Amino acid sequence: MKNLSKLVLALFLAFSFSTANAQDENNPWLFSFGINAVDFFPTGEDAPLGEFFDEFFNVTDHFNVLPFLSTVSINRYVKNNFSVGITGSVNTIDQFGEERVDDLVYIAVDGILKYSFKNLISSKKWDPYLGIGAGYTWLDQPDVGNDATIAGNGSLNGTAGFGYAFTERFGIFVQTTYKETFDGSNVDSHFQHSLGLTFKFGGKDTDGDGIYDQNDACPEVPGVEEFNGCPDSDSDGIEDSKDSCPNVAGTAEFNGCPDSDGDGVADKDDNCPNVAGLKSLSGCPDADGDGVADASDNCPNEAGPSGNSGCPWPDTDGDGVLDKDDQCPNEAGVVANNGCPEVVAVVTPTKEVQNRLTEYAKTINFNTSKSSFKNDAYPTLQAITAILKEYPQANFRVEGHTDSSGSEASNQRLSDSRAQAVVDYLVTNGVSRARLTARGYGESAPIAPNNTRAGRAANRRVDVKLVN
């Protein structure tokens, strides 16, 4: 009972020492508990003890283990990977080196300054550490009489161990401590090994987002670890403070705003957010590519200027001059004359030339009762052709005539075909058909009496006349 009271006192001192320090880091407190094993053998002493580190892992023959909660500690983080702590532990000693002893009570209180290598190895799970410290250990001392007394010695301690975190707060630890007692009169130098669970606590998280205030850039607003505790309301991977559309998921390309139609224009700037369009038209389409958005284009499938609501300007007369610029929109013209017909000075044959044409035409000879030419007619036809080409703006009418021999109907047909034969020859030789007309007069326009051979010959003729 006396020994138990001393243990309770040691634990009280441990908690009192720890809670005297102010909180200043995330989870600055580490509480641990577990079991411990005491080994006097591998300490470099004389028999019944062995050399230093001799049979260090001989659990069966040398370890003294109390198989229930037998060690409790509390540690307080200081800074720069250093922490301080204190440990209270109890055990029963029945193996002193290679000798059996009679269940001696073991009580220890130890302080430690510990350095963690967790940050150096960039690990979130593993936490190797080294420590130095001092403590005091009590051990039952056999007496000459039937009673035993408990006495102790101070010690200098060196510790090595590691922790492993299952979560941010909970984990396990394994460590070994060598205790070099000051004089060894009551307690010999020994190793104490510990195994147990750890619990971290003490961090402040005002907004409850799992990120402690010291590391939380937005301590009053719940956020995510990726942005140091600041929120990403739409979960698009862009912090709200940098998100132009914080409540709608988007992409980094558009500062957190969406582009529903994938046209490269963010929805907030897109006048047609559900239809792919052009940046130049604020995201609206232009099917005919005329620079007028379809919604404002009266002819969305036909290119036209914006000045005509996206429709092409008409050209009613088809002369290549648009109606809006055409001073004669219903009459084909030329650009040089603003869409009106070009005024051309028509050069006409002189009276002398016309008389020459008349004389030439009278000498065109046809085969009897036919519209085919005699061979001597061709030089005359060539001369007529040459004259007509000299006056390209002048129009002419070719007239066919017969004498009164035969029926009136047959004479009409013959005059028509002979006039047309001359026109066909002229067209074939380069005179525009548009400048020529053919007309037969039959026997209706004689220039001489038909009752003589000479008169009838004069009436069988072709005339080429200028048409004004």
With a pLDDT cut of 90, the percent of the chain lying above it is 46
In the chain, CATH 2.40.160.20 covers 2-201
Please choose, from the candidates 158, 156, 37, the residue with its C-alpha nearest in 3D space to the C-alpha of residue 106.
Answer: 37
Q: Are 426 and 385 in contact (CB under 8 A)?
A: yes
- How many beta carbons lie within 10 A of that of residue 461, not counting itself? 22
The single residue listed with the structure tokens 């017969």 is 402
Angle at which helices 408-428 and 378-389 cross, to 10°: 60
Least reliable range by pLDDT among 33-42, 150-159, 293-302: 293-302
Of residues 308 and 39, which shows the higher confidence score?
39
Summarize pLDDT for 165-200 with one digit per residue, the tens.
998 889 999 999 999 998 878 899 999 999 999 998
In the chain, CATH 3.30.1330.60 covers 351-467
pTM: 0.46
CA–CA gap between residue 72 and residue 160 (Å, rounded): 17
* CATH fold for domain 351-467: 60s Ribosomal Protein L30; Chain: A; (3.30.1330)
Question: What's the CATH number for 2-201?
Answer: 2.40.160.20
Structure tokens that stand for 104 in this block: 């001696």
Q: Are 91 and 101 in contact (CB under 8 A)?
A: no
Instruction: Specify burial of residue 120 (Cβ count, 10 A radius: 0-12, 13-18, 19+).
Output: exposed
Summarize pLDDT for 6-27 with one digit per residue, the tens.
433 443 333 333 333 332 466 7
